[in-house]
Structure 1
Amino acid sequence: MIRMEARSLQGAVRPAAVAGHFYPADAGLLRTVVEGLLSDFAEAEPPARPPKALIVPHAGYVYSGAVAARAYNRLRGANGIRRVVLVGPAHRVGFYGIAAPEAAWFETPLGRVPVDQPAVEQACELSSVFRYDAAHAPEHCLEVQLPFLQRTLSEDFTLVPLVVGGATTNDMARTLEAVWGGPETLVVISSDLSHHLDYDAARIVDERTSRAIETLDEEGIEAGMACGRVPIQGLLRLARQRGLAAERLDLRCSGDTAGPRDRVVGYGAYAFGD
């Protein structure tokens, strides 16, 4: 595990790392796939107000795209969201703390999204947050959310992308508090649920996790219940403090969406609002 110091901005683009693997690399096909997933799970009427926060899964679209679409449909017709705080766990690079990018843009086949540099600088004032592009370069958990955001948000938006390594719930809650903003800011926590259990065991564990999320019980999210446990816990703490309510939108696993029921991965979608 390594702890890097802050580095100067390079103004670079963080290119797509998992296009063609987790989702289509062709822009036209990607647009069709995302819009198809959204239309399959569209609500009859859009919500009166968009959510303040979402929890969404981050596997390949064939596995978790339908569950993610349930959450992103809550943004349908939303106006006024101009910044997205996007947080997920590190899968490929080990480090202590919370990594913000040096890059100025994040790119997908659908285009580039600018990083909100003032918000990142504000987060980096905390001792646990620092700029570290190496954590972002191979990471899929944030990237797979971007095409959904690019197709659902009605306005151009900026991004506050944060990859979480060896951090505590306190670190996460303080970081989210620093960039929480108002109605112009949406918080998206990218996390899958249980990993590599058999189907029946996964359903039991994921139901426990879901109840903890729905009741804003941060201590109920135990190790092994979600890869994004610390980001979820930080969100639950702030949601409780700010009087938000959590709503379960979907709860399934890879055994429901894409195949065999041994060693499945759990997926949940949740919305938080007043």
Structure 2
Amino acid sequence: MRYPAVAGMFYPSNPHELIEMIEHCYMHRLGPKDMPSLGCYEKPIGLICPHAGYVYSGPIKAHSYYALSKRSDPMEETTVVILGPNHTGLGSGVSVMDDVWKTPLGEVEADKEFVNLLWRECEIIDLDETAHLNEHSIEVQLPFLQHLEMLNIIKFKIVPICMMFQDYETAVEVGYFIAKIAEELNRRVVIIASTDLSHYEPQEIANKKDMIVIRDILNMDEKQLYEDVVNYNISMCGYGPAIAMMRAMKELGYGEARLLAYATSGDVSGDYSAVVGYSSIIVE
């Protein structure tokens, strides 16, 4: 069992308060201003989704899950691959785990067959829970998924992938094997890259840097994204997960990206002196 590490910090630990906050994010002035509703799963989708505290990133995050709701079907199970950066420095360079994850809204099972094939076939991925124990980037996505499940919009298991190594070659290899295993197992997949954008820059600078990486993602250009993050010193924490998601979607035969929403922490707090950027992007 992987117990919550950031409940009460990044999101409420009380389940009723957590549901209220998630619903508030959907209806927030920066959110989709509508509640999720049942759609139909037709093809794999990829999402770029922020992972900061819900107070700041939740309304932008809600755009991703609103889009997911329109492309989900609870009649069959979906495997949700969640790629997040490693902020703690613990554990293996790239790691998966097959334990149950617990949040205030209940338990989430891993797709053990997918996880075990992934780490056995991809040499760079280890089965290692240490990297996941205190990492928030994957955990904070789960309550939004569970909320959709409570609304009978999706039925899912997860494949959690924590990336300390985010070099281009590693990220591309991870993406390739995600697609390979999904096709081998004939899984209905959603691939979420959990990442914030610029960190603690003045609003104007953050906007400029964020538009560079957003452009690269919309162009589905993984190599350019990596080069721009390095060359422009962009403090996007999950560029590796984003590259892996983009490569996986291309390998699956889908590559049309669309920006759903963008804002910064300053747009929520009113303090524009040192902001963090957030975006929701869909690839299908």
Identify the residue that residue 65 of structure 1 maps to in structure 2: 58
Q: Which residue of 1 is the match for residue 79 of structure 2?
A: 83
AA at the equivalent of 2:280: A
- The counterpart of 2:271, out of the listed 235, 256, 260, is 260
Once the two structures are overlaid, the 10-residue window that deviates more, 22-31 or 49-58, is: 49-58
In structure 2, the residue matched to 1:4 is none
Q: Distance in 2 between matches of 1:46 and 1:114?
A: 22
Q: Could you report, residue by residue, the CA deviation over 1:16-68 in whole angstroms, capped at 9, with x for unpaired residues?
A: 00000000000011011112222442289876656611110000001100000
SS class of match (2:64): helix
Q: 1:267 to 1:17 in 2, by over 3 A?
A: same
Percent sequence identity over aligned pairs: 30
Match of 1:194 among 192, 195, 198: 198
Query: Counterparts of 1:44 and 1:144 in 2: how far apart (Å)?
Result: 18
The answer to whether 1:122 aligns with 2:88 is no
CA RMSD of aligned residues (A): 2.1
Is the contact made by 2:92 and 2:131 (CA closer than 8 Å) also made in structure 1?
Answer: no
Q: Which of 235, 242, 256 in structure 1 is aligned with 2:245?
A: 235
Which residue of 115, 135, 138 maps to 1:139?
A: 135
Deviation at 1:240, TM superposition (A): 3.9
**More helix per residue: 1 or 2?**
2
1:15/1:116 Cα in 2 relative to 1: closer, same or farther (>3 Å)?
same
Quote the residue 2:15 is aligned against: 27
Contact 2:45/2:249 (8 A) holds in 1: no
Find the partner of 1:213 among 199, 217, 226: 217
User: CA–CA distance in 1 between the matches of 2:245 and 2:83?
Assistant: 10
Residue type at the aligned position of 2:239: R
177-186 or 68-77: which moved more?
177-186
> Equivalents in 2 of 1:219, 1:81: separation in Å?
33
SS at match of 1:14: coil
CA change 1:23–1:189 in 2 (3 A) is same
1:156 maps to which residue? 155
TM-score with structure 1 length normalisation?
A: 0.87
Asked if 1:269 is matched to 2:280, the reply is yes
Once the two structures are TM-superposed, the CA of residue 170 in structure 1 deviates from its matched residue by: 3.0
Correspondence for 2:102: 107
- The one-letter amino acid paired with 1:157 is F
Using the TM superposition, name which of 186-195 and 161-170 deviates more. 161-170
The residue identity in structure 1 corresponding to 2:9 is H
Work out the number of aligned pairs and report it.
260
Residues 196, 265 of structure 1: 8 Å contact kept:
yes
> What is the identity, as a one-letter code, of the residue corresponding to 1:31?
I
Q: Offset at 1:76? A: 2.0
Report the secondary structure of 2:136's partner residue.
coil
SS of match in other structure, 1:179: helix
Q: Secondary structure in 2 aligned to 1:248? A: strand
Give the C-alpha shift of residue 75 in structure 1: 2.0
Matched residue type, 1:230 = G
On the 8 A contact 1:37/1:66 being kept in 2, the answer is yes
| Distance in structure 2 (CA, Å) of the matches to 1:91 and 1:190 | 12
Distance apart, 1:217 and its partner CA: 1.5
CA–CA distance in 1 between the matches of 2:258 and 2:39?
13
Mean Cα deviation higher: 91-100 or 55-64: 91-100
